[in-house]
Structure 1
Amino acid sequence: MNVDPAVPLACEPANQNAGTALQDPEQGALSADEYALFASVARVRRVYAGETLFHRGDLGTTMYVIAKGAIELDFGEDLIAKSLGPCEFFGELGLLIGDHARSADARAIDDGELLELRHEEFQRLVEIDPTLVSYFLRRAIMRVVFNEQSLIRRLRRRNQDLQSALDSLRATTQQLSRTEALVRRDELTGLYNRRGLLQHLRERHRNGATSGLGLLLIDCDQFKRINDEHGHLIGDRVLQGVANILRSVAGTNDIACRLGGDEFCLLVKAETREEVMRYAEFVIHTSHGLLQMPQLPPLICPMSIGACLVCAEGEWNDWYARADTALYRAKRQGGNRVEWQDNAPIPA
Structure 2
Amino acid sequence: MQKRLSRAQEKVLQKLGKADETRDTAFEEGVANFNKQMAEGTKLQKDLRAYLAAVKTMHDASKRLQDCLADMYEPEWFGKEEVDTIAEETDILWSDYHDKLVDNSMIAMDTYLAQFPDIKARIAKRDRKMTDYDSARHHFGSLQKGKKQDQAKIAKAEEELGRAQKVFEEINVDLQDELPQLWNSRVGFYVNTFQSMAGYQQRFHKDMGKLNQDLNDVMTKLDEQRLLVPHPPHPSSPSSSILSSPSSSILHLLVHLPVHISATITTGNTTPVKAMHDYAATDGDELEMKAGDVVLVLAWENPDEQDDGWLMGVKESHWLENKDLLAKGVFPENFTQKL
TM > 0.5 between the two? no
Relative to the length of structure 2, the TM-score reads 0.24
Greater share of residues in helix: 2
TM (norm. structure 1) is: 0.24
